[in-house]
Amino acid sequence: MSVQPIDQFCKELKPEIKEALTKASIGSTVARQQSLDQAYPEPGKALHLRELANAIKSVNLADNLEKAVSSLERNNVKVLFAKDADEARKIILDIIKKKNAKNVVKVKSMTTEEIELNAFLGKHGINAVETDLGELIIQIDHERPSHIVKPAIHRKRDDIAASFQKHGIADYDEEPTHITLNARKYLRKKYFEAEVVISGANYVLAKEGAIVLATNEGNARFSMAGAKTHIAIAGFEKVIPSARELSVFLNLLGRSATGQHTTVYTDFVAGPGKAKNSPEEMYLIFMDNGRSDILASRFAEILKCLRCGACMNRCPVFRLVGGHAYRAVYPGPLGIVLSPLLAGEEFCKYADLPKACSLCGGCAEVCPAKIPLPSLIVQMRDEAKRRHCKIPNDVGFKAWSFIATTPRLWKFGIPFNRLANYLPIDKLRFGTLGRWLKARKLPKFKGGEFRKWFKKNG
């Protein structure tokens, strides 16, 4: 099996985008720490909460799923199961067709990104409009999210304003408040027209038979106020025992994602017709799409993910290359582990991702679910080896490893490194090194002095 070349890792982000991305990621990481310190000044308290989140997610998922199904059905939710993305898309399309609906609004959901739902519905003549501002921005330009919480983190306000103008949403105006107001005006009409709303579910409460939607823009409420049918889709790992345990996650999610004490809106949807003007019919699709296999594997911990994005904010590689470089829907440390696993038969297509990690351990320090990401990433490298995935730069690494582990060869080669200071290596544009150099400059070689120093002082 072979994989795609890693050119995309080398694709240079525009300097101003790289700077904005780094600034935003560092800002979120700092805000996370401040928010946790403020809420839990006692030493070890925040860590205890993260351990609790991990422990809650460790409880018997099968039992909770069973309980959730009966409570949801008691609340008149139609519960359906999809074994994979194909089946999930088909179920959703069938419901929409049965309702004869043309106007669909969507609440931000990574699960629907995972199954590429918008493109699929588009092919069947259904325009599903994203109602989260970031998702709307990337949807109109047919892009993928570059971050799981801030999907348009790679976009600048002037190009968003230009895009709004191009797509007839509003006249050019790059003032951030005006961009938001223009999107609001555009979306209000869509809420009124909507016949169906599609959402994910941040959590599914087994005891209460409800889904929980955590949003910042109030778009979930607006979407549900107009549409008559609500279709929610979630991986089965989103089930937690009850509302009691939810408090642990709500305390961690907003803080980990953006440093907020909590997300601005937390909606509990416990079946259709419960609130004034709410949808008259509600479906919840539990999707597997490879999750059962992950649960049975040594990577089961990754299913505890809360989708907060803290690991990517903290990751030095993500900050430099941006989310699109990971090629799959989940970027950063989370994606490095999850994307190859979700790819199933196409595992090797993403087998190079675990190499895009310096193993600095920062992601594990911030993960609210205490997922041991660096250890999973190392195991993922091992998994790629076991599956005999061919990774483009493996030959180079093997050669380097041979030299680095043969002291005589290493010592012999050191003086030759100086040649790099005089040869036009930076101009190389082919092979792995050439692709790497497209986005980087080689630093001047200054080495070779350590041995001399060690001989003298060691």
Interface residues toward ligand SF4, by CB under 6 A: 256, 305-311, 334, 366-369, 371
Query: 294: which DSSP letter?
Result: H
CA of 142: how far to CAs of 9, 154, 230, 322, in Å? 21, 14, 24, 17
Q: d(Cα 90, Cα 32) in Å, to the nearest integer? A: 39
- The four Cα atoms 177, 179, 180, 181 give a dihedral, to 10 degrees, of 80
Residue owning tokens 């195991």: 379
∠ CA 443-448-449, rounded to 5° = 110
CB of 243 to ligand SF4, least distance (A): 20
Contacts of 238 (CB under 8 A, 6+ apart): 201, 202, 203, 204
Q: d(Cα 104, Cα 142) in Å, to the nearest integer? A: 17
Q: d(Cα 357, Cα 223) in Å, to the nearest integer? A: 39
∠ CA 55-56-58, rounded to 5° = 65
Contacts of 449 (CB under 8 A, 6+ apart): none
The phi and psi torsions of 198 (rounded to 5 degrees) equal: -115, 130
Q: d(Cα 210, Cα 243) in Å, to the nearest integer? A: 9
Q: What is the per-residue DSSP string for 230-269? A: EEEEEEGGGEES-HHHHHHHHHHHHHHHHS-SS-SEEEEE
* 95 and 231 Cβ atoms separated by less than 8 Å: yes
Q: d(Cα 426, Cα 438) in Å, to the nearest integer? A: 8
Q: What is the per-residue DSSP string for 157-202? A: HHHHHHHHHHTTSSS----HHHHHHHHHHHHHHHHHH-SEEEE--S
